[in-house]
Structure 1
Amino acid sequence: MAFRIRYHYRKQPKDIGYANDKHRSVYDAVASAEGVDLAEFHRVESQLANVCRNDRKTMKDFREEYFRKLGFSDVVIEREE
């Protein structure tokens, strides 16, 4: 099943294809499409995961806020028909 990701990057609407086997997450896919380096993000995310082992809300909030600061918004994944 194919997926599409619709998002805004620096207030411009974008649309890309997505496959689970190529990227760790939807956010990795959009960052890769825009050429954004996520080394720092993955380092901090790993540290946060060690501290907040079972707190998914904290991880989700961190991820969304980090990408909002990078200029991403309205990230939505949809199935292609």
Structure 2
Amino acid sequence: MARQVTYVYKKQRKTIQFSFNEYHDMYEAAAAAEGIDLTSFLAMEKQLAMSCRGQGIMKNHRKTEFTNMGFGEIKFVRDEEK
């Protein structure tokens, strides 16, 4: 079953196809669709993972950074939303 991700980028809603074979998560898929290089972001995220306990810090960091990049409302599309 194909999955879709919907997000808002610079005030424009977009929907893309998503596969766990190609992307680690929906944030990486959205960034790839917009041509954004996540190399430095992923390096910082790796450092945070090594130095912090708990997922709350990681989740907050990811959400904050993607908001700063211009993204919003990144989520999977449910079947009833189509």
Give the TM-score, by structure 1 length. 0.93
Q: Share of identical aligned residues, percent?
A: 39
What's the CA shift for 1:78?
A: 2.1
Closer, same or farther in 2 for the Cα pair 1:22/1:80, shift >3 Å? farther
Considering Cα pairs closer than 8 Å and 6+ residues apart, tell me whether 1 or 2 has the greater RCO. Answer: 1
1:46-66 C-alpha deviation (Å, 9 max, x unpaired): 00000114x101100000000
Q: Matches of 1:72 and 1:10 in 2, distance apart?
A: 7
How many matched pairs? 80
Tell me, yes or no, if structure 1 residue 44 matches structure 2 residue 44.
yes
Contact 1:2–1:80 under 8 Å retained in 2: no
In 2, Cα distance between the equivalents of 1:79 and 1:50?
33
Measured at CA, do residues 80 and 17 of structure 1 come closer, stay the same or move farther in structure 2, by a change above 3 Å? farther
Normalising by structure 2, what TM-score?
0.91
Q: 1:1-81, aligned counterparts within 5 Å?
A: 1-53=1-53, 55-80=54-79
Q: List structure 1 runs of 4+ shifted beyond 6 angstroms.
A: none
Question: Which segments of 5 or more consecutive residues in structure 1 lack a partner in the other structure?
Answer: none
CA–CA distance in structure 1, aligned partners of residues 24 and 64 of structure 2: 18
Question: Which ranges of structure 2 fall in alignment gaps of 5 or more residues?
Answer: none
RMSD: 1.2
Give the secondary structure class of the aligned counterpart of 1:64: helix
Change (3 A) 1:77 1:17: same
